[in-house]
Structure 1
Amino acid sequence: MKKIALAAFGFACALPAAAQQTQEAPITLLAAGSLRDAMRELGEAWRKDAGGGIAATYGPSGKLRQEIEGGRKVDVFASASVEHTEALAAQKLLARSLTFAYNDLCVVSTPALGLSEATLVETLLRPSVRLATSTPVSDPMGDYTWQFFRNADKAQPGAFARFEAKALKLSGASAPAPGEKLPYVTAFEENKADAYIMYCTNAAGTLHALPQLKVLRIPDHLNVRSAYGIGAAPGSRAGERFVDFVMGPAGQAILRRHGFN
C-alpha cells in the first residue's frame, strides 16, 4: 500500500512540472520581415510576462501564407497584409484575423538625387534614376508600392506603365539569410539603386545603417497605408495569449516605438 501511495504521490507531483514544461514550450511564429525588430522586443516582453519563448521565422508574407496553406504548423502568423490572415481564417487555418498595426510608404534616396515632396513622381520617373522596390504578390510591400504607382498614374497618366517598366525588384522574393544584411542596405552599399520605396519602419533601419541617405515619406494623396494582420492557429492557447498580448497596451506601445501606428 505504501508503494502504491508513493507512486500516486510521485505522479501527482509530476503533473505540475509537465504542465509547466508545456506552458514554456516556444511559440512557433511566422512573421513579415518588416516586423523582425518589433517582434524581437515583443518576444522578450512576452517571455518576461508569460515565461515562454518564441521560435520565429521571418519572410515575405505571401510566401509564409503559402507555407501555412501547404501544411506548415504554426501558432501565430503576423502578416504585413491583413488580407493574408483573413484568407487563412476563412480556410480555418487561423482562429481569427485581427488588424494590429499600420505602416506607410517612404522613399529612401541618395543625397545627390535631391528628392522632394513637390517633385517626387517627376524625379522617380527620370530614366536615369534607378528605382528599387520589393516584389509584388510575394511581398505586400511590393503590392503597396504598385498601388502607389497606380495612385501616381491618376495624377500623371502613363506613370504606372513607366514605373512598372523601370522598377528593380531587389527584395521580397525570398527572406534574407540569418545574419545577412537587409537588401535595402546592400542596394545602396553596392550602388544598385538611387532610390528605394519601402515601409517607413524599414526606412528608419536603413537610415540607421547608412545615415548619409535621405528619407521622404510619400504624401498622403499618393501613399498607401498598410494594415497588418495577426492570428493564432485554431486550438493554440499559447498562440491566442500571445495575440492578446500584442493587441494589448504593452504590445501596442512596443509597436509604436518601432514606427508602427
Structure 2
Amino acid sequence: RDRYEDRLPRYYREAGKVSKAVACYRAKAEKDPKDVKVRETLALLALARNRQKETARYISEIRDIRKEDSPRVLRLEGQLLVAQRNYKQALRKLLAVEKTSPHDADLQYFIGLCYLRTGDPRQGRTYMEKVSARFPDNERVGRALAEIYYVLGHLEEAKKLAEHLRATGRRSTVLDIIIWDAETKIGDVGRGETGWRTFTEENPDRPEGWIGLADALWRQGKRTEAVEVMKKAYELDNKSFRTTWTLANMRVVQ
C-alpha cells in the first residue's frame, strides 16, 4: 500500500492531473508532519501554479522541521522571491545554492534572470548562454537570452533569436518589441513601421509601441506624425525619460 501511495501522485503529475497530485501529496503531508520531501514537492507545485502564499507556508513548515538553512530551502526561497520580483534578495540566496549545485541548469537560469533584472545583463548572459547551450529549444531560456542581447545592444542576435521563437509558435509582447525595434534600427524601417502599427493596435496601452512607431516615422522623415504619435506615448508614461526627453527633443528639432 505504501508503494502504491508513493507512485500515485507521480502518476497524476505525469498525466498532467496536477490537482489530484497535490491532493495526494497533501494527504501524505498530513499523515507525516515531519516529511520534508513531500513539503518540498508541494512548495514546487505551488510555485508552478503561482500560489505564492501557499509556497511560503510550505517553506515555513520545512524550516520548522529542519531548524536550519539547507540548499533546498534556500533554492525554494530564491525561486519564490523571483516570482515576487524581488530579484536582489533572490540572487543572494540562489548564489549560495550554486556552491553546492554548480551545474544545475534550472538554477543557472534563475541566476541569469536575476542578473538581468538587477541591471547586470553581461553576467546574466554568461549564465543564460550556458543553459541555452544545453537546452537550445527551451522557450523561457530563449526568451530571456533574446532580452539580454537586446538590453546589451546586440540587436542582430536579439532579433534572430526572437524571430526563431516566433516561428516556432511562441508569442509575447517582449519578443514583438525586440523584433520591431531591431527592424526599425538595423533592418527595413518601413517594415518596422508596419510592425509597430500592428503592435499598437494589439497593445494600445503599451507606451513601447507608440515610442517605436514614432521612432520609425521619424527615421523616414515623417516628423509631424512622429510627434503626434510620441504624444500618445507621453500620455501613457509622462514621468519617464524615454518619453519626456524624446518628445522634447523632437519638438526642438522639428
Task: Give the TM-score, by structure 1 length.
Answer: 0.21
Structure of larger gyration radius: 2
Task: Give the TM-score, by structure 2 length.
Answer: 0.21
Q: Which has the larger helix fraction?
A: 2
Q: Which has the larger strand fraction?
A: 1
Q: Which structure is higher in RCO with an 8 Å CA cutoff and minimum separation 6?
A: 1
